[in-house]
């Protein structure tokens, strides 16, 4: 049994082979000449393979002619050159085995095209659509490039915890982890929740970022990265936010902000280059069906140098631009998506790295500049997607860090271990976080972030 994938079967080299193909029927077409065409897909590539099943097959009338979309089959036969358009090969079936039927009156993925919103209701079936299949193959390729890039650069993959007691971003948008019974919360003498009776003896949460733990390992092992799920309980129903998303976070000892920017740019260029080189068919599909700017975006990331400008300069450029914005621009406020897009799309036409943000809008751990009002932060912005990376050089001076924590209402004693890194052999260091789903959005052109992750978690949505 020479089992081959449909991706392999579609190559001209397969012609002449006896092979076994397995997958799901997309369509069946019966010809007047007494045979049927089956379009088969197994998820290994976007395209289907055409199977020719002759009427003299023993189960032709009883089974093959009853096959409909969604049925699962094994087909054995010979790979032949195809006369059909858009395909080099087809299979002449010698045997068709049906594994599972799929009632055409009930199976939702019939010929009709469904909206992305509708498909979200069938999270268990949507991976069988062309769009989700292509998204998942591209997502996989990005993950592979992420690991390859860091491994080749000598980074160590560190697994930081999912459950933690610390709030890295200081934004208080954390999901609580507890085994206390919500109907019967134990209280202490002061009438406060008695966390001593909880599983971890303290308030605990799902992590919003692996950075703080990443810093611990970077200041021992040099170059590390963590890559895992992160959680944010921000109640924002936007096309760019998930409650559960994947983040890759490199952290590097003896790095300053310049080094950090260089790493981020090389990293994104590597991903874009490899998606272009390895996902040709899927990208072509996105270009045709989803967004005709996808190729250009990828090429821009891969080839054009990223512009680097300070936050202050960006504000000046936006003020001078004369463009009308819904949100007013003022030094000291966070940039809105419309400002980010104006900068990347209208002013520069390339990805940009914004740096040196006002300290008041950034977390406690970022290194303070001499000017007393900005920190060594950096955000990488992509055309049409906006912020894709957030990072910084870290504050490595104990006293400054403690002051910043107090300013932001964070109790230094709770972070004694983090401060120890500054007490014992402190070093300049830096890192950043890339949101995986935003990257998948950027390279596929998919507008809603819920459609680039298998099972999106958003306010009100966690059924399956």
Q: Which two tokens stand for residue 166?
A: 């610390």
* DSSP letter assigned to residue 275: H
| C-alpha–C-alpha distance, residues 29 and 53, integer Å | 10
Q: Which two tokens stand for residue 222?
A: 């040099």
The reply on whether position 344 binds ligand 4AD by CB under 6 A is no
- 388 touches ligand 4AD by CB under 6 A: yes
Among 137, 241, 376, 404, binds ligand 4AD (CB under 6 A): 241
User: Which residues from 355-394 bind Mg ion, rule CB under 5 A?
Assistant: 390
Quick check: 23 binds ligand 4AD (CB under 6 A)?
no
In angstroms, what is the minimal distance from the CB of 199 to Mg ion?
Answer: 31
Q: Contact between 391 and ligand 4AD (CB under 6 A)?
A: yes
Instruction: Tell me the angle at which helices 130-152 and 280-289 cross, rounded to the nearest 10 degrees.
Output: 130
Q: Which stretch binds ligand 4AD (CB under 6 A): 297-305, 311-319, 321-329, 430-438?
A: 430-438
Of the candidate residues 10, 96, 432, 446, the single one contacting ligand 4AD (CB under 6 A): 432
State the Rg of the chain over Cα.
Answer: 27
Binding footprint of Mg ion, residue count (CB under 5 A): 1
Q: At closest approach, how far in Å is the CB of 346 from ligand 4AD?
A: 21
Spatial contact of 177 and 195, defined as CB atoms under 8 Å apart: no
d(CA 95, CA 54): 10
Burial code (b: 16+ CB inside 10 Å, e: under 16) for 362-384 equals bbbbbbbbeeeebbbbbbbbbbb
Give all strands of the β-sheet with 204-206 in edge-to-edge order.
Answer: 163-164, 204-206, 176-177
Residue 353 C-beta: closest distance to ligand 4AD, Å: 12
The strand pair at 223-231 and 156-157 is best described as parallel
Cβ proximity to Mg ion: between 70 and 390 the closer is 390
Is-contact 38 9, C-beta < 8 A?
A: no
- Cβ 390 to ligand 4AD shortest distance, Å: 2
- Residues 377 and 392 sit within 8 Å (Cβ to Cβ): yes
Report the nearest approach of Mg ion to the CB of residue 390 (Å). 3
Q: Which of 42, 437, 444, 453 binds ligand 4AD (CB under 6 A)?
A: 437
User: Using CB under 6 A as the criterion, which residues of the chain lie in contact with ligand 4AD when the complex forms?
Assistant: 168-169, 209, 211, 232, 241-242, 245, 247, 249, 387-391, 431-433, 435, 437-438
User: Using CB under 5 A as the criterion, which residues of the chain lie in contact with Mg ion when the complex forms?
Assistant: 390
């Amino acid at each position: 049994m020479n089992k081959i994938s449909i991706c392999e079967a579609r190559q001209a080299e397969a012609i002449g082979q006896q092979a076994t193909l397995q997958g799901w029927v997309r369509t069946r077409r019966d010809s007047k000449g007494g045979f049927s065409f089956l379009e088969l897909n197994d998820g290994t590539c976007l395209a289907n393979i055409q199977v020719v099943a002759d009427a003299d097959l023993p189960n032709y009338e009883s089974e093959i002619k009853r096959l409909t979309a969604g049925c699962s089959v094994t087909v054995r036969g010979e790979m032949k050159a195809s006369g059909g358009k858009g395909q080099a090969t087809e299979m002449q079936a010698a045997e068709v085995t049906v594994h599972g039927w799929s009632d055409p009156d009930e199976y939702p993925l019939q010929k009709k095209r469904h909206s992305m919103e509708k498909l979200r209701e069938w999270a268990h079936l949507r991976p069988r659509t062309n769009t989700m299949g292509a998204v998942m193959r591209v997502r996989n390729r990005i993950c592979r490039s992420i690991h390859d890039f860091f491994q080749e650069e000598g980074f160590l993959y560190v697994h930081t915890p999912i459950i933690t007691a610390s709030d890295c971003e200081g934004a208080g948008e954390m999901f609580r982890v507890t085994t206390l019974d919500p109907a019967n919360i134990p209280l202490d003498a002061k009438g406060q929740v008695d966390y001593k009776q909880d599983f971890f003896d303290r308030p605990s949460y799902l992590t919003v970022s692996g950075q703080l733990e990443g810093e611990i390992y970077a200041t021992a092992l040099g170059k590390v990265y963590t890559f895992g799920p992160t959680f944010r309980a921000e109640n924002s129903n936007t096309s760019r936010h998930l409650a559960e998303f994947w983040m890759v976070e490199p952290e590097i000892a003896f790095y300053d902000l310049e080094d950090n920017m260089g790493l981020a740019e090389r990293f994104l260029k590597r991903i874009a280059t490899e998606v272009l080189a390895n996902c040709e068919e899927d990208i072509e599909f996105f270009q045709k069906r989803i967004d005709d700017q996808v190729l250009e975006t990828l090429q821009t990331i891969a080839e054009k140098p990223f512009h680097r400008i300070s936050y202050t300069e960006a504000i000046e450029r936006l003020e001078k631009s004369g463009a009308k914005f819904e949100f007013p621009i003022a030094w000291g406020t966070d940039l809105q998506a419309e400002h980010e897009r104006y900068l990347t799309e209208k002013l520069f036409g390339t990805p940009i790295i914004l740096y040196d943000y006002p300290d008041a809008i950034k977390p406690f751990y970022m290194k303070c500049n001499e000017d007393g009002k900005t920190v060594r932060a950096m955000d990488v912005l992509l055309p049409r997607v906006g912020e894709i990376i957030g990072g910084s050089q870290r504050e490595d001076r104990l006293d400054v860090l403690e002051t910043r924590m107090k300013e932001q209402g964070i109790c230094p004693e709770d972070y004694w271990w983090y401060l120890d890194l500054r007490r014992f052999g402190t070093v300049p260091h830096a890192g950043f976080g890339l949101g995986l789903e935003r990257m998948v959005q950027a390279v596929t052109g998919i507008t809603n972030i819920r459609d680039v992750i298998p099972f999106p978690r958003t306010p009100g949505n966690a059924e399956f």
